[in-house]
Amino acid sequence: MGSGASAQKTIYLEVDGKVQKINFSPQSNGSDIKQILRTSSRLPRQASVILVDNRGTLIAIDPTIPANCQNSPYRIISQDTSSRSEKEDLFQTLLAQVTEEFTRAFRISELKREVYERLTALEHRVEAEGRRAIDIDKCKLEVKKLRDELEERSNSRLSCPCKYYRSGDIIRINPRRDVPSYPKYTLSSETIETLKKPTFDVWQWEYNEMLSCLEFMYHDLGLVREFNMNPITLKRWLLCIQENYRTNPFHNFRHCFCVTQMMYGMIHLCELQGRLSLMELGILMTAAVCHDLDHPGYNNTYQINAHTELAIRYNDISPLENHHCAVAFQILAQPENNIFSNISPEVFKQIRQSIIRLILATDMARHGDILESFKQVVFNFDFGKEEHVKTLQMMLIKCCDISNEVRPTEVAEPWVDCLLEEYFMQSDREKSEGLPVTPFMDRDQVTKPKAQIGFIKFVLIPMFEAVMKLFPQIEEVMVRPLQEARDHYEELMQLEEAMVEVQQKRAEILSGGGKVK
């Protein structure tokens, strides 16, 4: 709480028919505010809460929550307080849907059997009567008619309750939702503005809130209108995207959101809406959303050395990035998830080729080549030249993919911890399987400063400085924070070295190797 009224933010909350006045500091984070709301509503500490206004609109719980008045208080809905009858109704509804699905599946099976029998009869007829007695073209037409009938029946059924496919060494089961279940949050004007900046704190948001933010970005940039997207399909696609990111320490859905939010921020910061077409912006955003789909948590070096299914399938050539592309277009191949269903096949082909190119560009093995290509065109860059724009798009997604150190230290540093945890998991596995151990992932050799200093100095700063030549406005908000991050980790390195030296001298004294005068 703040020390004075000016340091507090006030909202009104209805609890058991009574209106309570809730004060909190604008510096409180989302978790703090939720705990205050739980306490005020006498809910358990771990209860999941949803905040709604008097019209039932869901309100995002963060420091920018809109103030209200005593006559229109907010209400809390706890997801742990569903009534028994509601749960029973939900169960009965699901049971009815499953029963209907099995009934339709049985009918399709019967149809397939019928088609097979009729096709077999036609084949026998051709064989028995010979070409002179049978109009072959007529038979082909009848066969095509039967196949079209089967396809039409198959496409008209309900989506299967679940799907699965094998990826690496894990069999994944992913729910298929016909009606999106996540709510639409009301984003405050403050949130909308911070969403456009690299300083946005990605740690203060839950998955449903991140999905709503992504949905807002597509609407705000005009992509929904440009591609004539069905808004419900957009929701369903985003849900399916989230479900196809694994719960890795680093390469997870929050990372996906982080990269996409940075792309959205760079579009605004570099004023790309006036320089690139809406199709080009849509490609950038969609590639960012899909760029790490179904990442298994072990990098390309491990995939190749361990001869995994992915490495074999893609002949050791960017196996992970190729897999991310494949999963992205497997999702889009499902009619219920195809946000590009209302564009022409020719335009979709261009979009597909471009998204694949951008996702493949995130393979760090190609970093040097892509950076050099951009340096060759940056001084005479022409937004009217297709090759120049393609190179810029690859640079932008690369910048966004590894942009954590651009963010404030309190936002960026937890990402380093997550990345090191994932690195150490890989090096431990490499050791246990007798594979070459990736040096920068070895928990016995790597520290946080060691992991970051070289990466910031030799990868991040040169890359962002190259982009700065085309967009000088990123110097203050992107390049300078990188320089400060480099200085921060160099200070930590010096402190670590000093501590090691002290420990060594202490060990020498204790072992008798040194004399105290």
Q: Where do we find the tokens 């709480």?
A: 1
Query: How far, CA to CA in Å, does 384 sit from each of 7, 256, 387?
Result: 51, 30, 9
**How far apart are alpha carbons 35 and 12 in whole angstroms?**
15
Residue 388 is a catalytic residue: no
Could you identify the residue written with the tokens 């009729």?
Answer: 118
DSSP strand E in 254-378: where?
Answer: none
Which long-range contacts does 157-163 make (Cβ < 8 Å, 24+ apart)? 157/101, 157/104, 157/105, 157/108, 158/97, 158/100, 158/101, 158/104, 159/334, 159/336, 160/101, 161/97, 161/98, 161/101
Burial class for 122, CB neighbours closer than 10 Å (0-12, 13-18, 19+) = middle
Closest by CA to 410, choosing from 326, 488, 478, 474, is: 488
Cα R_g (the chain), whole angstroms: 28
H/E element, 503: helix 480-510
- Would you list the DSSP string of 109-167? HHHHHHHHHHHHHHHHHHHHHHHHHS-HHHHHHHHHHHHHHHHHHHHTSPPPSEEEEEE
Q: To the nearest 5 percent, what fractions of the chain are helix, strand and coil?
A: 60, 10, 30
At 175, is the secondary structure helix, strand, or coil?
strand
Pairing of strands 162-167, 74-78: unpaired
Closest to 249 measured CA to CA, from 301, 296, 200 = 296
CB of 283 within 8 A of CB of 339? no
Instruction: Give the Cα separation of 389 and 270 in Å (integer).
Output: 14
- The single residue of 219, 251, 295, 388 carrying the catalytic annotation is 251
d(CA 266, CA 464): 12
Helices (H), 447-479: 448-455, 461-468, 474
b/e 348-358 (16+ beta carbons within 10 angstroms → b)? beebbebbbbb
Interhelix angle for 319-332 vs 278-290, to 10°? 110
Strand order in the sheet with 74-78: 18-24, 9-15, 74-78, 49-52, 58-59, 185-186
Quote the CA–CA distance of 66 and 507 in Å, as a whole number: 59
Please list the active-site residues. 251
